Amino acid sequence: MKGCRKNSDPKYYNKVIKQLKSKVRKEYNRRKLGVHCTEKLKQLSKQLLVVKKSAQEAYLKSVLSKEGKCWSDFYKYVKRHKGNKENIPAIKDYNRRIITDAIEKANTFNSYYSTVFSSEGNILLIQGENTGNPFTTNIKTMRRRVKVIGKKNQ
């Protein structure tokens, strides 16, 4: 007897989708038998995607029509289905320390992007490829060189 487990299929899966899903699975297992099986797998996969998309749209229309016509009902629906997911996973800062706090993550990204997109001063400590020595360049010098390259290409 097979073990009982919860059905992981979305609510909008209907009989047609389940049948197509089964056919795709069978063709996937037969794909090494020849080109005709591979082509049939591609065709069935595309068909399954189209049917799933239309079924999902129909399901969402029916659910949203029941939810009401105001924005607060819509956001309640979204919140119920979104779950409690963290937007940004844990990150490492420049000291390779793991950061999980949302405010610390924001500050880390802020400091990083402020140095990357800074237009003031010098670009410091860009590692040379062969020498191993860092070099410093002036922003004004870089702009002049880019301008000259642009003029040459015109």
Higher pLDDT, 25 or 76: 25
Q: What is the pLDDT of residue 68?
A: 59
Q: What is the DSSP letter of 95?
A: T
User: Which residues have C-beta within 8 Å of that of residue 17, sequence separation ≥ 6?
Assistant: 48, 51, 52, 55
The encoded tokens of residue 110 equal 């802020």
Residue listed under structure tokens 């880019």 = 146
Predicted confidence band at 124 (pLDDT cuts at 50, 70, 90)? very low
- Number of helices (H) and strands (E) in the chain: give both, helices first: 5, 4
- In tens, the pLDDT along 2-55 reads 567 777 777 778 899 999 999 999 999 988 888 888 899 999 999 999 999 998
Q: What is the pLDDT of residue 125?
A: 47
Q: What is the DSSP letter of 11?
A: T
Dihedral pair phi/psi, residue 73, rounded to 5°? -65, -40
Higher pLDDT, 115 or 67: 115
The encoded tokens of residue 123 equal 């670009």
pLDDT surpasses 90 at 107: no
Q: How far apart are CA 12 and CA 52, in angstroms?
A: 8
Higher pLDDT, 92 or 83: 92
Q: 12 near 58, Cβ under 8 Å?
A: yes
- What's the chain's average pLDDT? 75
Contacts 24+ apart (CB under 8 A), 100-106: none
User: CA-based Rg of the chain, rounded to a whole angstrom?
Assistant: 28
